[in-house]
């Protein structure tokens, strides 16, 4: 098979996927398929412009011929890219198993000293706080710094005797996290960080559970420091 054959094969696979997603009796154009599916599919949205450019190339390959020969022949880079797009659209990489791990947790009545020690030992900038086994809040290095700043004027304060619950009162924004399910795609992760940023908020962590519920066991965590890894996977 030459490059045009490989290209058309991948393009047809993507088009079939889009038509199945739309599930329409009429026959919209490829551009319309991309626009419609991208509204609900983060992967298609990420490659929206590429897909439309490849639709033009596909038309050139199929329709524009001279003496029975194809005028436009895709280069190796175009073939490699559309095959990658086909792969991640049909089977997008998910957060599990990549980010599944034993997540360090602390109880809200534990001392802030215990939390700081854990965060230092593992180079964490944040750690989930539980209340009777259920997630209660996300303790961050920023919150600890704000608490320490408020304690400067006090003559005596104790890391060992101050409960985490007290320090959490200095949280700047309690909406600093989001729960996601194990089936969340890497593309949806990127969208979550972008959505927080567009609202002028900071997303400190995505907490992974089986069903994306706060009451479930946390089986993984994603922070800003993981974004380069995720971008490398999806690009």
Over range 43-66, report the average pLDDT: 88
State the average pLDDT over residues 74-80: 94
In the chain, CATH 3.10.580.10 covers: 106-234
Q: Which CATH number fits domain 106-234: 3.40.50.720, 3.40.50.10540, 3.40.50.1220, 3.10.580.10?
A: 3.10.580.10
Average pLDDT, the chain: 93
Instruction: Answer yes or no: are the C-beta atoms of 230 and 190 closer than 8 Å.
Output: yes
- Please check the confidence at residue 66 and state whether its pLDDT lies above 60: no
pLDDT tens per residue across span 148-174: 998 887 767 889 999 999 999 999 999
Res 25: pLDDT: 61
133-150 pLDDT, tens digit each: 999 999 999 999 999 998
pLDDT at 72 over 80: no
Pairing of strands 65-66, 69-70: antiparallel
pLDDT value, residue 64: 60
pLDDT digits (tens, 9 = 90+) for 88-117: 999 999 999 999 999 999 999 999 999 999
pTM for the whole thing? 0.87
Q: What's the token pair of residue 169?
A: 């009162």
Task: Supply the pLDDT for residue 129.
Answer: 98
């Amino acid at each position: 098979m030459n490059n045009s054959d490989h290209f058309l094969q991948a393009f047809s696979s993507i088009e079939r996927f889009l038509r199945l997603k739309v599930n329409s009796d009429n026959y919209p154009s490829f551009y319309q398929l991309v626009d419609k599916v991208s509204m609900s599919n983060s992967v298609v949205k990420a490659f929206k412009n590429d897909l439309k450019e490849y639709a033009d190339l596909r038309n050139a390959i199929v329709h524009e011929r001279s003496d029975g020969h194809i005028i436009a022949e895709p280069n190796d880079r175009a073939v490699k890219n559309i095959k990658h797009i086909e792969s991640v659209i049909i089977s997008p990489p998910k957060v599990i198993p990549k980010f599944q791990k034993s997540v360090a947790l602390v109880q809200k009545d534990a001392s802030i000293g215990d939390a700081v020690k854990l965060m230092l030992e593992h180079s964490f900038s944040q750690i989930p706080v539980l209340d009777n086994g259920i997630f209660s809040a996300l303790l961050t290095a920023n919150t600890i710094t704000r608490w320490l700043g408020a304690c400067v004027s006090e003559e005596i304060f104790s890391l060992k005797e101050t409960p985490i619950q007290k320090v959490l009162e200095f949280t700047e924004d309690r909406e600093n996290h989001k729960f996601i399910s194990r089936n969340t795609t890497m593309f949806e992760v990127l969208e979550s960080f972008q959505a927080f940023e567009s609202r002028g908020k900071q997303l400190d962590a995505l907490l992974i559970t089986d069903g994306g519920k706060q009451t479930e066991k946390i089986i993984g965590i994603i922070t800003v420091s993981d974004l380069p890894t995720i971008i490398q996977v999806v690009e």
